[in-house]
Amino acid sequence: MSLIKHKKFHTGLVTLLSVFLVISMNQCALKKETKTLKLAHGLPTDHPVHKAMVFMKKRLTEISGGKLTIQIYPGGQLGSEQQNVELLQIGSLAMTKVSAAIMESFSEDYKVLGLPYLFRSKEHGFKVMDGEIGRELLLSTQKKWLRGLCFYDAGSRSFYTISRPIVTPDDLKGLKIRVMKSKMAMEMVQALGGSPTPLSWGELYTALQSGVVDGAENNPPSFYTSHHYEVCKFYSLDEHSAVPDVLIIGKTVWDRLTEQEQKWLQQAANESVIIERKLWAESVKESLRIVQEAGVKINYPDKNLFQEKVKGIYEGYKSNERINSYIQRIQATK
DSSP codes of every residue in 83-115:
HHHHHHHHTS--EEEEETTGGGGT-GGGGGGGS
Is residue 18 predicted with pLDDT exceeding 50? no
Is residue 32 predicted with pLDDT exceeding 60? no
Cα–Cα distance between 43 and 278 in angstroms, integer?
Answer: 18
Query: Looking at the structure, do residues 131 and 178 belong to the same domain, yes or no?
Result: no
Query: Looking at the structure, do residues 248 and 120 belong to the same domain, yes or no?
Result: yes
- Residue 2 within a domain: no
Per the structure, the count of domains in the chain is 2
Cα–Cα distance between 54 and 69 in angstroms, integer?
Answer: 11
**Neighbour tally for 39: CB within 10 Å:** 23
Domain carrying residue 274: 33-153+243-285
Q: What is the mean pLDDT of the chain?
A: 91
Query: Looking at the structure, do residues 51 and 130 belong to the same domain, yes or no?
Result: yes
Query: Looking at the structure, do residues 196 and 227 belong to the same domain, yes or no?
Result: yes
- Residue 164 within a domain: yes
Is residue 22 predicted with pLDDT exceeding 60? no
Name, of 23-32, 60-69, 102-111, the range with top average pLDDT.
60-69
Query: Looking at the structure, do residues 145 and 262 belong to the same domain, yes or no?
Result: yes
Phi, psi of 184 (to 5 degrees): -65, -40
Is residue 13 predicted with pLDDT exceeding 70? no
Phi, psi of 140 (to 5 degrees): -75, -10
Cα–Cα distance between 6 and 4 in angstroms, integer?
Answer: 5
- Residue 23 within a domain: no
Is residue 74 predicted with pLDDT exceeding 50? yes
What is the pLDDT, as a whole number, of residue 9? 43
Cα–Cα distance between 107 and 276 in angstroms, integer?
Answer: 25
Query: Looking at the structure, do residues 87 and 163 belong to the same domain, yes or no?
Result: no
What is the pLDDT, as a whole number, of residue 80? 86
How many alpha carbons lie under 13 Å from residue 166 in its C-beta half-sphere? 30
What is the pLDDT, as a whole number, of residue 44? 87
What mean pLDDT do residues 130-148 have? Answer: 97
Query: Looking at the structure, do residues 196 and 147 belong to the same domain, yes or no?
Result: no
What is the pLDDT, as a whole number, of residue 59? 98
Report percent pLDDT > 70 for the chain: 90
What mean pLDDT do residues 26-35 have? Answer: 59
CATH code for position 55: 3.40.190.170
